[in-house]
Amino acid sequence: MKILLAEDDPNLGLLVQEYLTAKGYIVHLCPNGEDALKVFLREKWNICIFDVMMPIKDGFTAAKEIRTFNKEVPIIFLTAKSMKEDTIEGFKAGGDDYITKPFSMEELLMRIRAILKRTEKSVDNSNQQEYIIGKYRFNPTLQQLVIGDNSQKLTSRECDLLKLLSMNINQVLERNFALKVVWGDDNYFNARGMDVYIARLRKYFSEDENISIINVHGKGFKLVDQPL
Longest dimension (CA), the chain: 58
**Mean pLDDT over residues 20-32, rounded?**
95
pLDDT tops 60 at residue 124: no
| 86-95, 117-126, 180-189: least confident range | 117-126
pLDDT at 49: 97
Any residues with CB less than 8 A from the CB of 77 and at least 6 apart, and which? 50, 51, 52, 59, 60, 63, 90, 93, 95, 97, 98, 99
Which CATH topology does 2-125 take?
A: Rossmann fold (3.40.50)
CA distance 135 to 217: 27
- What is the dihedral angle through the alpha carbons of 77, 69, 150, 152, rounded to the nearest 10 degrees? -60
**Mean pLDDT over residues 141-162, rounded?**
92
The domain segmentation of the chain, as residue ranges, is 2-125, 128-225
pLDDT tops 50 at residue 123: no
Q: Which among 209, 225, 215 has a CA at the least distance from the CA of 166?
A: 225
DSSP 70: -
pLDDT tops 90 at residue 177: no
CA distance 141 to 128: 9
Amino acid at 94: G
Burial 144-160 (b: 16+ CB within 10 A, else e): ebebeeeebebeeebbb
pLDDT tops 70 at residue 86: no
CATH classification (class only), 128-225: mainly alpha
Any residues with CB less than 8 A from the CB of 47 and at least 6 apart, and which? 1, 3, 4, 73, 74, 75, 76, 112, 115, 116
Indicate the pTM of the whole model: 0.62
pLDDT digits (tens, 9 = 90+) for 193-226: 999 999 999 999 999 999 999 999 988 999 998 7
Chain centroid to Cα 1, Å, comes to 17
